[in-house]
Amino acid sequence: MTATLFTPLQLGRVTLQHRIVLAPLTRMRAAGSVPGPLNVEYYAQRTTPGGLLIAEATPVSPQGHGHPNVPGIHTAAQVAGWKTVTDAVHAKGGVIYLQLWHTGRVSHSSHQPDGAAPVGPSAIRAEGGTINAAFQPVPYEVPRALEIQEIASIVDTFRQAAANAIAAGFDGVEIHGANGYLLEQFLYSRTNTRTDAYGGSIENRSRLHLEVTDAVIREIGAERTGIRLSPWGIANDSSEADPVSLFTHLIGELAKRTLVYLHLIEPRASGTGKADIFRADQPSAAGIFRAMWPTVLLDAGGFTAETAPEALSSGRADAVAFGRFFISNPDLVDRIRQGAAFTPYHRPTFYGGGAEGYTDYSVWGG
C-alpha cells in the first residue's frame, strides 16, 4: 500500500501517527542560552499526537555556539530548561528529538569563551557574515584550525550532549552534519585542506561525521540517533565539486550503523534560512540516495501540501519535514489534513525577539 502523509510510521521505539515533521529551526528565542516558557509554548503549539518535532539546532558546548539567544545542551540549567519543553510535548502525545550542533568556523569571537577565534578544520574564512552577540551584523572571521589532539574532545562533546538530551526527556537526537557547520566543514574539500587523518581523501574527510555518530550511538543507541545531511548544499559558504562520490561513501558508511533515520535537505532549498532561495533543476538528494538507506528517510526542502505526498508515493522518502510554513502555521498538520490554506510566514521575525512571529500565529478557523 502506498504511504500517505497520514499513514503511521515506525520510528525506532515509537510509532508516529503521521509523517509531517517539524524541521529543526533556529529562532534565537532562548533566555540567554536556556530554554524558557516562551520556548515551551512554541513547541507545545506545534505538537500533535504521534507527531515528530525536531527541536532547533542546539550547541553541544560553549565553543559550539555561533548565534545569540540559542539554547544549549551543555549545562544543568539548559537540561532543566529543555525538560520543561519535552514535558509539554509529551503531555500532548508528541515525539521530540534534539538537533546537536557545532557551528565551527561560522561562529564569531563574541560568542566564544574568552573571545577566542572560532574553530574549523582549516584557517579558511567563510565568505559573507553573521551576527555577533549584540545582534549586530559582522563579517566572518578567520577560524583557528583545530589541532588533531583537540578533535577527540569535540567528538566527546557530541556524546555528552546526546546523554544530556536524553536526561532532558528527548526521545532521540539528530546530529547536525549539514549546512556548512563544523562537521560539514570537515567533509568538504574547499573548507578542509588538512593533511592529517581528517583531511585529503573522502575517507579522511568523512571521519569526523562517523566518529561523532559512533560516539552518540555508544551513548544512547542507534535506535535513538538520526543525522541530517545536505548534499549539494550551499549554506554558509559551503559546496563540493563532486557530492555524489562524497555522499555515496558517507551515507554508505552511515547505513552500516542502522541509525533510526537519515534526514536529507534537498539542494533546491539549500540556504533558505537566510533568504527565500529556490534553486531550480537540481537533483533530488532523496531520489539518489534512497536505495542506499535501510531505515527511515526524512526529506526536507521547500515542500508544500501539494508536493509532499509525491515524495512518499514515489518511494523517495518516508516522511517530509516542513520548516518555514510550520513557523507560521502551528496547526500545520490539521491544515494539511483539512486542505486549509497556509498562513504566510514573515521572514523579518524569524530570528530573535519575543512572541511576535513566534507564538502569536493563529490556528485555522481561529
Q: What residues are labeled active site? A: 181
Q: Hey, how many other C-beta atoms are within 10 angstroms of the C-beta on 291?
A: 9
Q: Is 340 left (phi over 0), alpha (psi -120 to 50) or beta?
A: beta
Cα separation values, 352 from 161, 234, 281, Å: 24, 24, 33
Q: Name residues whose C-beta falls within 8 Å of residue 154's C-beta, 6 or more positions apart in sequence.
A: 102, 146, 182, 208, 212
Q: What are phi and psi of 167, to 5 degrees?
A: -65, -30
Q: Which of 219, 289, 206, 299 is nearest to 253 (CA)?
A: 206
Q: Evaluate whether 273 touches 265 at the Cβ level (below 8 Å).
A: no
Distance, C-alpha 242 to centroid of its chain? 23
Beta-strand ranges (E) seen in the chain are 9-11, 14-16, 20-22, 52-59, 95-101, 119-120, 129-131, 137-139, 144-145, 172-176, 225-229, 261-265, 296-300, 319-322
Rg, the chain, Cα only: 19
